[in-house]
Structure 1
Amino acid sequence: MTGPQTHTVLSVSGLTKDYPGVRAVDDVSFAIEGGTVHCLVGENGAGKSTLVKMLTGALDPTSGSMSVNGNEYTPNSPQDARKGGVATLFQELHVVDELTVLENLTLGMERSWFGFLVKSELEERAVKTLAAIEPSIDPSARVSRLSVAQKQIIEIARAASSGANIIIMDEPTAALSEREVERLFGVIRRLRENDVTVIYISHKLDEIFELGDNVTVLRDGKHIVTKPLADVDGRSELIEMMIGRTVFQSYSPRGTVGNKVVLKAQGLTTSLLKDVSFDIKEGEIVGFYGLVGAGKTEIARALYGADSFEGAVDFKGKPVGRTPTAAIASGIALVPEERRTQGLFTNLTIRENIPVMNLPRVSRGGVFKAADVQDAAHQYVEQLSIATSSIEKHTEKLSGGNQQKVVFAKCLFSNAELLLLDEPTRGVDVGAKSEIYDIIKDLADQGNAVAVFSSELEEILGICDRVFLMFDGHLQEEIPNGPDVDISHILNVVTGGQESVAQ
């Protein structure tokens, strides 16, 4: 692990980031030692992503300062950060499949002479760096032929050969197999041996204890502690530091949950999901809770027919077709995670958006009945309290909360009896959240079934009757909601703890 002599390579002091009405990072100060794996942990919304964006120059801090190797550090962009010695490996791979490994290693750092690319010492350095990290990868190979793990190693080698001595890795194992994870861990250990500092961000706490030297815990945008992992008393202490509070629960049992099963999913299996089975009852709100890469969105998309899968889905006793069109015809509708790109036609008005999932309802003989479209728009604007001066307003001009209500209106107009809600309140303000929660409860009280897929534990425990806990594509456990819910146990399960009982 770390030697007796340490030196600080990166420090932040009083770092703060404000957004309108929200302080995402609040007066954070800590230091990172050179040649270590420094882990950064916290619940969803703890401030990790915002902090990383400031470290990489993607965001400017509102106040506070940063230093690298004792020098003031004020990056204006990720490229600027790289020049300052800080490189980042994001969850989304940034390689070009059509280029060779060597071309990817030098991408963005090529030397030119009068507009022509010329060979330089950079290429030789990049090849040597790759050979030191993973000698099995051929620099002349086409990147499209490599595995996800090998592509990540190319990104690591590119960062190291650029001169960066601090590499930030954000959930690097999210898309890797077990064998590929072991290979990546070997690469990280070799980087540490070569005095490269790795800032490692992961929700998988077992990885933190296996790899890390030190850990920083963030909670609600604040710095809680920075300490050696050797001084942390296992997962339970780390989880306790991450929570540090009682999750506010406004849940009260609802009398409208029936005993009739309306949806039954058996053995759902994809490249991520692993033999997932569950049921949903009439009038019930169920929640799927898990962290990044757990498989929540994949379940929603499988039920909706948007992704192919193995297994079976029955709704109201009949098999559901494997396309969104078939799902809608069966009475299933999806409110997608990305409402602007997947849930709305933002260049169309409220009136034009609402009927698109059930056009036959407002047409006769292939001709639109304009009066019916207008009546439907007025009905849902009033029913869902969509704040607008006119049904002719383009949806791109609405607030996030009101855009989400229009997506709800589309689903309701389709006569859906099962609503799949993927991150239903992401990016909406507190007032709009409360209104959306009321809409969800009202729909369930009317006998509809609702499935909420969320990474916000407070949201799940506030409105759901039953909760399914997800980790790494597995449905780990099913728990009833209520006042005796054990938050520590939930976080232990969704971070890969072994106490759960698979259903």
Structure 2
Amino acid sequence: MFNSADSANPGEGTAVKDQERSPILTVNGLTKEYPGVTAVSNVTFSVEHGAVHCLVGENGAGKSTLVKMLTGAAEPTSGSMELRGAAYRPSNPGHARRSGLATLFQELHVVNELSVHQNLTLGMERSRFGFLVKSDLDLRVVETLAAIEPSIDPAALVSTLSVAQKQIVEIARAASSGASVIIMDEPTAALSEREVERLFDVIRRLREQDVTVIYISHKLDEIFELGDVVTVLRDGKHIATKPLSEISDRSELIEMMIGRALHQDYSARPSRSDDVVLEASGLSNDVLDNVTFRIMRGEIVGFYGLVGSGKTEIARALFGADAFSGTVEFKGRAVGRSPRHAIRSGIALVPEERRTQGLFTSLTIRHNISAMNLRRLSVGGVVRSADEQAAATQFVQRLRIATDTIEKHAEKLSGGNQQKVVLAKCLFADADLMLLDEPTRGVDVGAKKEIYDIIRGLADKGTSVAVFSSELEEVLGLCGRIFLLFSGSLVAEVANGPNVDVSRILNIVTGGTERVAQ
């Protein structure tokens, strides 16, 4: 249980220090294989008792898969784990929580309609004959919350709290449940600077009270400010586990994260035109801060940033899906602020979440492909079925969508083929500007290459393409110009090429200052 009283016994303090030097969590040779890919390979390291242990790596480094295995959401293919010196193999997240390991995800798991106190005891309530009864738990959760953040009223509705306060409620729930290890996955992504400092104070108090925190963040300044130890993952492998005191600066940590040349597959693509096809000026909303840029006709431009950088919000603003202040001109004319206006103007969006935003999963391939341009297939409001079938067949062949019939429902396709159907739908809309938000997320290597070939083919034919990606290798392999984003701001523009400074790019998107003008 979270103890709000500091120890005054010198002997006890020494014992705690000795305990802190011993590992509370150890992973030995942990490996996770999926069909055709090894997500985590032979990872071994230990987490010390009572430390803030940071976990860093590029997108795709294996952090999420590792956390899934730690929390019981995924079963390791091989390897073992120990928690407090005993064998640990959680069968599900509930098992992990009961073992003393809790997780705070980027998406908050609180119930806004309940009070703070009700959220703190949610899932742990005591009952008798079907009725809730008071117990020592009620007092314990209130004491825990008061020790962590006394300004939060247990009787207040959670809906009245800020995002940071909601996170603190989740932390208090984990601590009061007896969790000795709390995993925090990108906890500051949606917080203001003041809220970040408040959260850091809470984490420091947890450390003082002997709670171990595994802290995952792309913001390297947070790692150096808060962490005791850092583990670096790259390509699913364990690169190093070091005390932060032994790492000289950001550049050393970035070097461990990169470890390879990422731009080797990029071949220079001269701009096809000096014509400006889209000009955005001063885009601002709850996430974006005065974002300004141009996209030229027939070029592939990249928007690269990590969690919370504003990539998706820029794409959605350009497509009219999110409200914003500022201006967007496309082919010299203002764009109406709705997806319908964007489509009619010649802008199409392949969204980040294809299943819920990009596809009608209950409809066939044929109906999905035609959905964004039914006017082209209609006479008097009636769709010409033969033309719809011909168009669908053409795009299935062109994009090599693996299916035996255009009448197959989209939900029955693989992830890569679903993504190709979304691309086909946007291509059939005859768009002059394609906005591709994480275009290859969740697809296999073969499908990635095919999608990259489609993107390059579009640019060759004069279509402008904007790639919004959190994979550095992807934007370096595709894009001639790359806009670097951090916390909703466009921080720098980089011209791609064989001598591009990858360390500089990662320094900027993780919150570092500019080092070289380019």
Secondary structure of the residue aligned to 1:358 is helix
Q: Which position in structure 1 is the counterpart of 2:274?
A: 259
Q: Which position in structure 2 is the counterpart of 1:388?
A: 403
1:328 aligns with 2:343: yes
Displacement after TM superposition at 1:4 (Å):
5.3
TM-score, scaled to structure 1 = 0.98
Whichever residue aligns with residue 380 of structure 2, its letter is: G
Residue pair 1:133, 1:187 contacting (<8 A) in 2 also = yes
**Aligned pair partner of 2:128 in 113, 119, 128:** 113
Q: Which position in structure 1 is the counterpart of 2:187?
A: 172
Cα separation, 2, equivalents of 1:402 and 1:89: 33
**Aligned pair partner of 1:219 in 234, 237, 240:** 234
Q: Deviations over 1:94-136 (max 9, x none)?
A: 0000000000000011111122111110110000000000000
Whichever residue aligns with residue 483 of structure 1, its letter is: P
Displacement after TM superposition at 1:470 (Å):
0.8
Structure 1 runs, 4 residues or longer, greater than 3 Å off: 500-503
1:132 aligns with 2:147: yes
Whichever residue aligns with residue 455 of structure 2, its letter is: I
Q: Which position in structure 1 is the counterpart of 2:375?
A: 360
Q: Which position in structure 2 is the counterpart of 1:279?
A: 294
1:339 aligns with 2:349: no
Displacement after TM superposition at 1:382 (Å):
2.0
Secondary structure of the residue aligned to 2:156 is coil
Q: Deviations over 1:443-486 (max 9, x none)?
A: 11111100000111111111111101111111111011110111
* Residue correspondences, number: 503
Q: Deviations over 1:353-397 (max 9, x none)?
A: 111111111111111111211121122122222222111121222
1:375 aligns with 2:398: no
Equivalent residue runs for 1:157-236 within 5 Å? 157-236=172-251
Displacement after TM superposition at 1:249 (Å):
2.7
Change (3 A) 1:234 1:4: farther
Displacement after TM superposition at 1:41 (Å):
0.6
**Aligned pair partner of 1:441 in 453, 456, 461:** 456
Q: Which position in structure 2 is the counterpart of 1:397?
A: 412
Whichever residue aligns with residue 323 of structure 2, its letter is: S
Q: Which position in structure 1 is the counterpart of 2:488?
A: 473
Q: Which position in structure 2 is the counterpart of 1:90?
A: 105
Residue pair 2:369, 2:421 contacting (<8 A) in 1 also = yes
Secondary structure of the residue aligned to 1:186 is helix
**Aligned pair partner of 2:42 in 11, 14, 27:** 27
Q: Which moved more, 1:354-363 or 1:375-384?
A: 375-384
Residue pair 1:475, 1:502 contacting (<8 A) in 2 also = no
**Aligned pair partner of 2:329 in 309, 314, 321:** 314
Cα separation, 1, equivalents of 2:442 and 2:218: 21
Cα separation, 1, equivalents of 2:135 and 2:153: 19
Secondary structure of the residue aligned to 2:406 is coil
Residue pair 2:263, 2:498 contacting (<8 A) in 1 also = no
Residue pair 1:477, 1:500 contacting (<8 A) in 2 also = no
Displacement after TM superposition at 1:256 (Å):
5.1
Change (3 A) 1:502 1:274: farther
Displacement after TM superposition at 1:255 (Å):
3.7
Q: Which position in structure 2 is the counterpart of 1:143?
A: 158
TM-score, scaled to structure 2 = 0.95
Whichever residue aligns with residue 136 of structure 1, its letter is: S
Residue pair 1:217, 1:242 contacting (<8 A) in 2 also = yes
Q: Which position in structure 1 is the counterpart of 2:6?
A: none
Q: Deviations over 1:146-170 (max 9, x none)?
A: 0000000000000000001111100
Displacement after TM superposition at 1:402 (Å):
1.7
Cα separation, 2, equivalents of 1:495 and 1:9: 29
Residue pair 1:126, 1:157 contacting (<8 A) in 2 also = yes
Cα separation, 1, equivalents of 2:150 and 2:283: 38
Instruction: Give the aligned CA root-mean-square deviation in angstroms.
Output: 1.5
Residue pair 1:256, 1:445 contacting (<8 A) in 2 also = no
Whichever residue aligns with residue 474 of structure 1, its letter is: S
- Any unmatched runs of 5+ in structure 1? none
Displacement after TM superposition at 1:11 (Å):
0.8
Residue pair 1:249, 1:458 contacting (<8 A) in 2 also = no
Residue pair 2:437, 2:467 contacting (<8 A) in 1 also = yes
1:152 aligns with 2:167: yes
Report percent identity of matched pairs: 72
Cα separation, 2, equivalents of 1:366 and 1:502: 55
Secondary structure of the residue aligned to 2:323 is coil
1:451 aligns with 2:466: yes
Cα separation, 1, equivalents of 2:379 and 2:175: 64
Displacement after TM superposition at 1:433 (Å):
0.9
Cα separation, 2, equivalents of 1:4 and 1:10: 16
